[in-house]
Amino acid sequence: MSDVVILRGPLLNLGEDPFAPEAEGLRVETDGALAMSGAMSGGKILAAGPAAAVLKAHPEAEVRVYGQGRLIAPGFVDCHIHYPQIGIIASFGEQLLTWLNRYTFPEEARFCDSAYAGEAAEAFFAETLRNGVTTTSAFCSVHPESVEAYFSAAARRGLRAVGGKVMMDRNAPENLRDTAQSGYDQSKALLERWHGKGRAVYAVTPRFAPTSTPEQMEAAGALWREHPDCPMQTHLSENTAEVAWMRELYPEAPDYLGAYERHGLLGPGALFGHAIHLTERERARLAEAGAGIAHCPTSNLFIGSGACDVAGLKALGVKVGLATDVGGGSSFSPFATMRAAYEVGWMRGLALTAGQIWSLMTQGSAETLRLQDKIGALRPGLEADVAVLDLQATPLLKRRTSRAESWEEALFALIILGDDRAVLESWSGGKLVHAREDQAGA
């Protein structure tokens, strides 16, 4: 019996980078099909294109047919999120530095408890999959127990997951501090245990320059040099008060990015969250170094940080992905995140297209993690991570999309009006890992 599954219905193809000059817009194969092998056979995409050709090539496959108003799309990739903060999402009234002290640090202190961390990880992945997010790059807490819980929960579901233990040896409560040596030792042990195991990817994770001494930054840089295939994730220039504080802590650095650069934490695979208040030197160096930016618009709006210049960074050649940044971000929904990216674009004077925004939340985020050869698109050979979407999930969404004169218009309406109800199914590595409660099947 064949373990090939074919999803038949409208099939989204984002093409090449839609920010490139004269880039072709998004395309939808109206009667399309996606053939994928099951998890036991690698969970890869075998074919994608017109239904007739895909069905002919795989005559023994199980076929699931999705009708009018449905769309087969790449699973969303959230390239910057804090899974220990699921319990403090939607906390009122603070900007970054006071928000960390009032909400974040007290909650993250609880993740020394393996049972608490495990329950939070289970809830976290239930939320991400309900929202069609099939890959996350998460900051865990300073505790190794939090990393074990995160990767274990992802492995049980067969998910592609990126994550790492936060390294933090100053300017935090004592019960959340490691040392330069213990942070290195614990991170190295976790990396050796998890990186490359199944679909796990370990990320070297200094929280941000103000909570790491120069000695710890050097240790993080040393660990990354020893394991250059790992990503390195941290934060950069999120808040003006944070930038000013960093200058006091690292007076020898030319700017915020320079503090990372001098300790070996800039290069391909470096992923910086936010990057709002950048100097011209920083912008140029990010492009030259091949680093990536995680744009977190709901978070930036919710805690009043500012507006990232996505179009300007892309024009320089900087890799940019889109991320929720829960719990500073106010929603797990990629639709809420994409909608906020559109609004932030207008604040910067440029409206991003539906194709550009959708690309940031899929192949753009995959590229920032150097995983574009594995996830983020629907191409043969990539891992079969898929979101099946419902463009008629609510009466208002159905009314609006039924009037759309193009797929670009329909997908823009989905960005603006969609939420978790628009996610019919989530597939990871060829396995169905979430189905909407009222989903009756193909």
Task: Assign 3-state DSSP to the chain and report helix, strand, coil percentages, each to 5.
Answer: 40, 20, 35
Q: How far apart are CA 22 and CA 376, in angstroms?
A: 22
Structure tokens at 42: 């690698």
| pLDDT given at position 440 | 45
Q: What's the pLDDT at 1?
A: 58
Checking if the pLDDT of 442 tops 50, the result is no
Distance CA 267, CA 204 (A): 13
**Mean pLDDT calculated for residue range 182-195:** 98
Residues 6+ apart with CB under 8 A from 305: 95, 96, 238, 239, 274, 276, 299
Largest CA distance in the chain: 66
CATH of domain 4-75+377-435: 2.30.40.10
Share of the chain above pLDDT 90, in %: 87
Per the listing, tokens 């950069």 go with 236
Residue 188 has pLDDT above 80, yes or no: yes
Name the CATH topology of 76-368: TIM Barrel (3.20.20)
Residue 40: per-residue pLDDT: 75
Contact 57, 47 (CB under 8 A): yes
Asked if omega into 163 is within 30° of 0 (cis), the reply is no
Distances (CA, A) of 6 to 34, 69, 136: 5, 18, 25
- Radius of gyration of the chain from its Cα atoms, rounded to whole angstroms: 21
CA 86, CA 78: separation in Å to the nearest integer? 14
**Average pLDDT of every residue of the chain:** 95
Compute the Cα dihedral for 106, 165, 266, 326 and give only its sign.
negative
What is the pLDDT averaged over residues 271-281? Answer: 97
Q: Torsions phi, psi of 110, nearest 5?
A: -75, -10
The pLDDT of residue 273 is above 50: yes
Please tell me the distance from the alpha carbon of residue 341 to that of residue 322, in angstroms, as a whole number: 8
Position 163 pLDDT exceeds 70: yes
User: Each residue of 217-235: pLDDT tens digit?
Assistant: 999 999 999 999 999 999 9
Going from N- to C-terminal start, the domains of the chain cover 4-75+377-435, 76-368
Q: How many residues does the chain have?
A: 442
pLDDT digits 0-9 by tens, 57-110: 999 999 999 988 999 999 999 999 999 999 999 888 777 778 788 889 999 999
